[in-house]
Amino acid sequence: MWRCTVCGYLHEGDTPPELCPLCHATADKFELVEPVVRSHSFVSMFREEFRQLRETFAPHAVSAHFPAALIPTCVLFLLITEVCGYLPLEFAAFALLVVIVISIPLTMLTGFFLWNKNYHRARSAIFKKKIVLAWALFLVALATLIWRLVTPDLLINGGAGAAFYLLLNLMMLVCVTLLGHYGGMLISAKRKQR
Ligand SMILES: [Zn+2]
């Protein structure tokens, strides 16, 4: 196989074509490439799939979805508890909060590695915002969890305590939404570069 180094056109044969049919590059612009042997055994397909996965796996994108998905669900459960007084949902929200608090440091860590590897720890405004928001999110989530552990019936008791507890959860929602927004901005900027 011969590949046009200008446009990537693939030509099968012993010699390269005189002119690339796509971009009209001359024969000297072609390079010899090994034909890809397509083996269809299950093991080789699995191996190829695994190789691709290892090369393209994005730990930060994956881990960021845990707090991003669980925080809105947590807020929704708390609001339903407030409106309907259905207590099992308050406990479900508490269980979600535990997973949220565990997943945030993991997401911060994968984010740090990505920032280090792909952006050489650039200190532009977008990264500063992401770091500040991530720390704010983690500290608010941790404080909320500790408060709920110390005072299990704070939502049931109502009043200012319950309102402030809901407010803390809403603050987490704002932080995670903005973090997702800036993450999306970085991804689309990276795409435009290509
Ligand atoms: Zn070409």
Question: What CATH number should be reported for the domain holding residue 42?
Answer: 2.20.28.10
Give 56 Cα–ligand 1 centroid separation in angstroms.
27
Per-residue pLDDT for 160 more than 90? yes
Residue type, 156: I
Provide, rounded to the nearest whole percent, the portion of the chain with pLDDT above 70. Answer: 96
111 and 178 together in one domain: yes
Give 18 Cα–ligand 1 centroid separation in angstroms.
11
For residue 1, give both structure tokens: 């196989």
Task: Using alpha carbons, select from 134, 98, 142 the residue that is nearest to residue 114.
Answer: 134
For residue 116, give both structure tokens: 């280090």
45 and 66 together in one domain: no
How many other CB atoms sit within 10 Å of the CB of residue 57? 9
Confidence of residue 157 (pLDDT cuts 50, 70, 90): confident
Average pLDDT, the chain: 92
Domains held by the chain: number:
2
Task: Using alpha carbons, select from 81, 83, 92, 64 the residue that is nearest to residue 177.
Answer: 64
Per-residue pLDDT for 103 more than 90? yes
Give 3 Cα–ligand 1 centroid separation in angstroms.
8
Please give the residue range of the domain that contains residue 75. 59-193
Partners of residue 30 on adjacent β-strands: 4
Per-residue pLDDT for 192 more than 80? no
